Structures are given as structure tokens and as C-alpha cells.
Amino acid sequence: MNFSKDDKMDKIKIGVIGTGYWGKKHVFEYSQLKEAELSWICDLDKSLLKTLSKDHNIPNITTNYKDVLESDVKAVSICSNNENHYKLAKEALLAGKHVLLEKPMTTSSKTSQDLVNIAKKAKRQLAVGHIFRFNDGLSEVKKLIKKGYFGDIYFLRLQWTTVLNPKNPIDVILDLCPHTFDIMNYLLDEWPIKITCTGKAYRKKNLEDVAFIMAEFKNGICAHTEVSWLLPGKVRELYVIGSKRSANVECLSQKVLVFENGKEINLNITANNTIASELSHFLDSIKKGSTLSNDGEIGTKTLQLIEASKESLKKGKTIEI
Ligand SMILES: NC(=O)c1ccc[n+]([C@@H]2O[C@H](COP(=O)([O-])OP(=O)(O)OC[C@H]3O[C@@H](n4cnc5c(N)ncnc54)[C@H](O)[C@@H]3O)[C@@H](O)[C@H]2O)c1
């Protein structure tokens, strides 16, 4: 899409609700994007808002999200705590705003589906922060899978581990598996049909800080995921194992290493700015009314799989979806 550089009329007026660790990144990227006019920011922390508005020249700040929803912004990014995603997104959609909602979309598939229905009825875009759909390393691997470069895909292995303290009421599955389930679907164009999950809550009762999930697909492919808040370091790594070749993807640096008959080939991918790409895609979908690749249906499906994982963990058995 071509926006003329300085034509304000072409810019989409935006508000960001929740400007903590992740929301600040939305603020920064919107303030750089020519397609956006970042008009409002909202957080409970007023001093944070003052600093951000000064740094990025944002005209309106508020600690009350209703001010943003009553304003003339066309769209909002919601980057607040998971527990209020549903309430804020619902009110935003009913106020006629397009919504980019951070992951996990809500805390249940029921409320996520409700948002999908509300967005449809209101004819508004509902995007979810499934940022790995905008990762050039993963996009390249997806293309190669489609072309048959790896041969038959046998399995995927994902490791999503970080050192973090448990944050009641969020466990590691709700926190990290929106990404891992989304990546499986992005690469394979399929959702798992069976989920088997084990895990442990070491530090806080009922709040798993480690989990191991086996996801099985109808074509025999499976995906094994390790998520943890205890393993030292930060790892966002994927292996694709195929009959002809295999690959290792380091999802943060976007480095892709292919293994072929004992040789290692570096695919030389230049890492893109994934948040900027995600926000541009959202703005583009508003302008053109085009389909989102990270829509609310995808967010809802990841929540269903998270619920299946927790059910499997609780009952000690495989759950069919
Ligand atoms: N897509 C990704 O890769 C990614 C990465 C990190 C975090 N996230 C998601 O982003 C969201 C925020 O995470 P975070 O790490 O930035 O948390 P955070 O605690 O640093 O920030 C949350 C902010 O929301 C504000 N807030 C809470 N309720 C509010 C309300 N009613 N109105 C306005 N502001 C309110 C808080 O004051 C806080 O500043 C979470 O849903 C998280 O899962 C996504």
C-alpha cells in the first residue's frame, strides 16, 4: 500500500492502551510508521505516559481507557494485562474501533470466540499479537516446507524458554504457548488434533512453570514443545525435521541453518522488524478491508489448544480436539 509521506489524511489515528514492557514497543513502532498517527496513549502509570508522550510527541495521554474509546482514533492496540484483554477489546469493538489485541487474546477460548463474533457483527478488524507470523526467518521456512525442500515433514521441535517469576494468575502455558501453537499452524497450515501435556508447578501451586506438550496432526506429523520459566537464558528455537533435509531456526535472530547429508547450510536471512511488519499489516487491513493473517479466529484456536493442554495435564491423558 502506498501512503503519501506527509499526507495526514491518509494516516490512521491510533491509540495504545497499556504501555508497559510490550506496549512501549507498539508506541515506538507506531510513532515511526508513516501510515499511523499515534494520537492517544493510556496506562495506569501517569509518569510513564508523560515520558512516552514527550519522547514520541504524542498529543493525548490518559489513565482512563474510556477517553481513548470516546476519541476519534480509528484503531487501538491493547497491550494491557491478559486478564483485562476481553473487557477492553469488547468495549473497543463496540465503540467502533479496529483492535490489535496482544496475545494471549483472552484467558479463555469462550471469551475469545465472543470477541470474534462481536468484531464480525461490528465489521471491525480484530488482530492478535501473533508476531511470529511476521518473522522473515519463519516465512522462509514456511515457503521451503510448501516447496517440498525438506521432503516429508516428520516432526517439529520447539523450545520456548525464559527465566521469569510466576505471575498469578498466568502460568507458562498461557504465557508462551499462544506463540508455539500459532507457529505450528503458520508453518503446517494445520491445527493439531491430539494434545498430550505434562508439566510442573514448582514455585506457585497450580501455576505451571515448566510444560512439555506433544501435539499430533492428522497427517502423522507431530510437534514437541518445551516451555519453561526456569531454564537459564532466553531460547526461542524451532527444529523442522524432514525426510530430505532438516532445519534449525533461531527465531529471535531469524538465523536458519539447514542440515543436508551431513552438511550445514546457513540460509543468510536478514532479520526484519517483526513488530513494525505486524503493525503495518494491521493498518493495511483497516485501509483495504483485507484479511488478516493473525486474526481473532487464530487467537481463539490457540486458546482452545492451551485449554486442551491444561486438561491433558490435569487428567493425565491425551485430549482429542
Ligand atoms: N507478542 C508478544 O511477543 C508479546 C511479548 C510480551 C508481552 N506480550 C503481551 O503484552 C501484554 C502486556 O505485557 P507486558 O509484558 O507489557 O506487561 P506489563 O505489566 O509490563 O504492562 C502492562 C501495562 O498495562 C497497564 N494496564 C493494566 N490495566 C490497564 C488499564 N485498565 N488501562 C490502561 N493500562 C492498563 C499496566 O499499568 C502496565 O503498564 C500481555 O498480554 C503479554 O502477554 C506479548
Q: Compute, in angstroms, the gap from residue 81 CA to the centroid of ligand 1.
A: 4
The region that residue 173 occupies, defined by phi over 0 for left and psi between -120 and 50 for alpha, beta otherwise, is alpha
| Residue 143 counted as domain residue | yes
| Residue 2 counted as domain residue | no
pLDDT value, residue 5: 43
Q: From 27, 79, 135, give the residue whose CB has the most ligand 1 atoms within 8 Å, as the site to mutate.
A: 79
Q: Say whether both 261 and 283 belong to one domain.
A: no
Q: Compute, in angstroms, the gap from residue 25 CA to the centroid of ligand 1.
A: 11
| Residue 308 counted as domain residue | yes
d(CA 203, CA 180): 23
Q: Which amino acid residue places its CA nearest to atom 18 of ligand 1?
A: 20
Q: Say whether both 209 and 265 belong to one domain.
A: yes
Nearest to 157 by CA among 212, 211, 224: 224
Give the three cell numbers for residue 312: 491433558
3-state secondary structure the chain: CCCCCCCHHHCEEEEEECCCCCHHHHHHHHHHCCCEEEEEEECCCHHHHHHHHHHHCCCEEECCHHHHHHCCCCEEEECCCHHHHHHHHHHHHHCCCEEEECCCCCCCHHHHHHHHHHHHHHCCCEEECCHHHHCHHHHHHHHHHHHCCCCCEEEEEEEEECCCCCECCECHHHHHHHHHHHHHHHHHCCCCCEEEEEEECCCCCCCCCEEEEEEECCCCCEEEEEEECCCCCCEEEEEEEECCCEEEEECCCCEEEEEECCEEEECCCCCCCHHHHHHHHHHHHHHHCCCCCCEHHHHHHHHHHHHHHHHHHHHCCCEEC
Q: Say whether both 126 and 67 belong to one domain.
A: yes
| Residue 1 counted as domain residue | no
Q: Say whether both 187 and 315 belong to one domain.
A: yes
Q: Which amino acid residue places its CA nearest to atom 11 of ligand 1?
A: 79
| Residue 148 counted as domain residue | yes
pLDDT value, residue 7: 47
Q: Say whether both 125 and 141 belong to one domain.
A: no
The CATH code of the domain that includes 263 is 3.30.360.10
d(CA 311, CA 28): 39
Q: Say whether both 176 and 263 belong to one domain.
A: yes
Q: Compute, in angstroms, the gap from residue 190 CA to the centroid of ligand 1.
A: 29
Q: Count structural domains, the chain.
A: 2
| Residue 40 counted as domain residue | yes
Contact 168, 252 (CB under 8 A): no
pLDDT value, residue 34: 96
Rounded to the nearest 5°, which phi and psi values hold at 287? Answer: -65, -45
Give the three cell numbers for residue 299: 487467537
3-state secondary structure 46-102: HHHHHHHHHHHCCCEEECCHHHHHHCCCCEEEECCCHHHHHHHHHHHHHCCCEEEEC
| Residue 167 counted as domain residue | yes
Averaged pLDDT of the chain: 96
Residue whose grid cell is 486442551? 308
pLDDT tops 90 at residue 9 = no
Q: Say whether both 111 and 27 belong to one domain.
A: yes
pLDDT value, residue 1: 38
Q: In terms of DSSP bridges, do strands 246-250 and 255-260 run parallel, antiparallel, or are they unpaired? A: antiparallel
Q: Say whether both 312 and 215 belong to one domain.
A: yes
pLDDT value, residue 4: 40
Q: Which amino acid residue places its CA nearest to atom 3 of ligand 1?
A: 131
Contact 127, 307 (CB under 8 A): no
Q: Compute, in angstroms, the gap from residue 267 CA to the centroid of ligand 1.
A: 34
Residue whose grid cell is 530430505? 244
pLDDT digits (tens, 9 = 90+) for 254-279: 999 999 999 999 999 999 999 999 99
| Residue 3 counted as domain residue | no
pLDDT digits (tens, 9 = 90+) for 170-219: 999 999 999 999 999 999 999 999 999 999 999 999 999 999 999 999 99
**Ligand 1 atom closest to the CA of 82, numbered from 1:** 41
d(CA 11, CA 87): 27
Q: Say whether both 109 and 150 belong to one domain.
A: no
| Ligand 1 interacting residues, C-beta cut-off 6 A | 17-23, 42-45, 65, 79-82, 84, 102-103, 129, 131
| H-helix or E-strand spanning residue 310 | helix 296-315
Residue 190 belongs to domain spanning: 132-272+304-320
pLDDT value, residue 72: 98
Q: Compute, in angstroms, the gap from residue 29 CA to the centroid of ligand 1.
A: 16
pLDDT value, residue 10: 84
The CATH code of the domain that includes 96 is 3.40.50.720
Q: Say whether both 138 and 267 belong to one domain.
A: yes
Q: Percent of the chain beyond pLDDT 70?
A: 97
Q: Say whether both 127 and 142 belong to one domain.
A: no
pLDDT tops 70 at residue 8 = no
Q: Going by C-beta distance under 8 Å and a sequence separation of 6 or more, which residues neighbour residue 137?
A: 249, 250, 251, 253, 254, 255, 256, 267, 269, 271
| H-helix or E-strand spanning residue 228 | strand 222-228
Q: Say whether both 137 and 147 belong to one domain.
A: yes
Q: Compute, in angstroms, the gap from residue 85 CA to the centroid of ligand 1.
A: 9
Give the three cell numbers for residue 51: 515520558
